[in-house]
Amino acid sequence: MAKNPPTGDGHRKGAVKDRSQTRNPKTGHWVKRDTNTGKFMDQKTSSDKPFKGVRKEK
């Protein structure tokens, strides 16, 4: 995972490692995936914007 010191400053230093994200074509939500296992981890339903600092799959 990326480190974010100091806390509360609102930005990330570096990318989140071992994660990727893709958009679910059926629901339109962004889904985060673990690149080591290939399992889906989280789905973003609160907004249409992608996860911050997580690379996108094609």
pLDDT of residue 1: 61
pLDDT of residue 46: 92
Q: Which residue has the tokens 């914007």?
A: 49
Question: Any bridge partners for residue 24, and if so which?
Answer: none
List, for residues 2-57, the tens digit of each pLDDT value.
666 777 777 777 788 999 999 999 999 999 999 999 999 999 999 999 998 899 99
pLDDT of residue 56: 95
Other residues' Cβ atoms within 10 Å of the Cβ of residue 31: 18
pTM value is: 0.74
26 is written with which tokens?
């059926």
Cβ atoms of 41 and 6 closer than 8 Å: no
